[in-house]
């Protein structure tokens, strides 16, 4: 019964958004009823999303609480999670009541959350360099072209590349070559990847809409 309710709800929801998008604003002299209901449906989706966020918080509390109670190997990280969660909730909800809490909230967000996020993203640079080192080993013609292209683009983005090529013809200078590669070759490849991703997303959306995707409630799907 639960599986059937989910299938019906998913199909009706997908059909609603599909008809709201494809039908004109005036349909046989009458306004598009799906467009009129869109604000209400969007409000409902925000409410459901809020419940999803709440369920996520409950799940995190349960997992990290179990780590602390059982003294797991990463219990200190779980304690840090609870400390940050409690402080952000306290300062976030209390900043309208106690002005001093607003200072605490800004301090936590501007001087802890933002720098920590920047630190996490900066660590990706090391993984990118490692992946580039493995990918740019010149063993084939494709690898040689990739390495040469990356070399030109990198030199075109740094002052050193402009310095060593500024006496060359304009179309051979590294900044000019780098801009041409990024605006022409890279754009065409990116559009091809995006087009393929869009087709894949459409296929997955149709499978979910028609309840063909395998999962907890669609284990019998094809």
Between helices 33-69 and 2-22, what is the axis angle to 10°? 140
Q: Which among 178, 185, 190, 133 has a CA at the least distance from the CA of 153?
A: 178
Which of 23, 38, 72 is a domain's end point? 72
In a domain, 172, yes or no: yes
**189 contacts 196 by C-beta, under 8 angstroms:** no
In a domain, 40, yes or no: yes
Contacts of 35 (CB under 8 A, 6+ apart): 20, 25
Whether 32 is covered by a domain: the verdict is yes
Q: Is the dihedral of CA 39, 44, 49, 51 positive or negative?
A: positive
Q: Is pLDDT of 211 > 90?
A: no
Counting every residue written for the chain, the total comes to: 222
Whether 59 is covered by a domain: the verdict is yes
Q: What pLDDT is attached to residue 91?
A: 92
Domain residues for 215? Answer: 139-222
Q: Could you give the number of structural domains in the chain?
A: 2
Q: Does the residue 31 lie in any domain?
A: yes
- Read off the pLDDT of residues 105-154 as tens digits, 9 standing for 90 and up: 999 999 999 999 899 888 887 887 787 777 777 788 888 888 888 889 98
pTM: 0.57
- Does residue 6 lie within any of the structural domains? yes
pLDDT by residue (tens digit) across 169-206?
Answer: 999 999 999 999 999 999 999 999 999 999 999 999 99
49, 72, 95 — which closes off a domain?
72
pLDDT at position 3 is: 81
Q: Which are the contacts of 2, defined by CB distance < 8 A and separation ≥ 6?
A: 217
- The answer to whether residue 89 is domain-embedded is no
The pLDDT score that the predictor gives to residue 60 is 93
At 54-63, the pLDDT tens digits run: 999 999 999 9
- 90 in a domain, yes or no? no
Give alpha helix (H) positions in 136-185.
141-157, 159-165, 174-180
Q: What is the pLDDT of residues 54-111, one digit of tens each?
A: 999 999 999 999 999 998 888 999 999 999 999 999 998 998 888 889 999 999 999 9
**Measured distance CA(64)–CA(80) in Å, rounded:** 10
Q: Which of 72, 97, 120 is the last residue of a domain?
A: 72
Of residues 140, 186, 190, 181, the one with CA closest to residue 161: 181
Dihedral sign, Cα of residue 46, residue 107, residue 122, residue 56? negative
């Amino acid at each position: 019964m639960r599986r059937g309710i989910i299938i019906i709800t998913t199909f009706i929801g997908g059909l609603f958004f599909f008809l709201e998008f494809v039908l004109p604003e005036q349909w046989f002299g009458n306004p598009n009823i799906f467009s009129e209901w869109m604000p209400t449906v969007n409000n409902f989706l925000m409410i459901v999303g809020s419940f999803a966020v709440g369920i996520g918080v409950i799940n995190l509390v349960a997992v990290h609480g179990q780590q602390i109670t059982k003294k797991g190997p990463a219990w200190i990280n779980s304690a840090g999670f609870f400390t940050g969660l409690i402080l952000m909730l306290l300062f976030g909800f209390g900043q309208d009541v106690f002005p001093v809490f607003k200072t605490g909230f800004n301090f936590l967000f501007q001087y802890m959350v933002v720098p920590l996020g920047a630190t996490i993203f900066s660590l990706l640079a090391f993984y990118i360099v490692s992946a580039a080192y493995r990918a740019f080993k010149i063993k084939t013609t494709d690898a040689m072209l990739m390495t040469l292209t990356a070399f030109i683009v990198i030199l075109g983005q740094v002052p050193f590349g402009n310095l060593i090529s500024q006496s060359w013809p304009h179309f051979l200078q590294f900044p000019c070559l780098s801009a041409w590669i990024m605006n022409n070759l890279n754009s065409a490849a990116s559009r091809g990847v995006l087009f393929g991703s869009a087709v894949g997303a459409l296929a997955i959306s149709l499978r979910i809409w028609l309840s063909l995707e395998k999962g907890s409630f669609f284990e019998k799907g094809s």
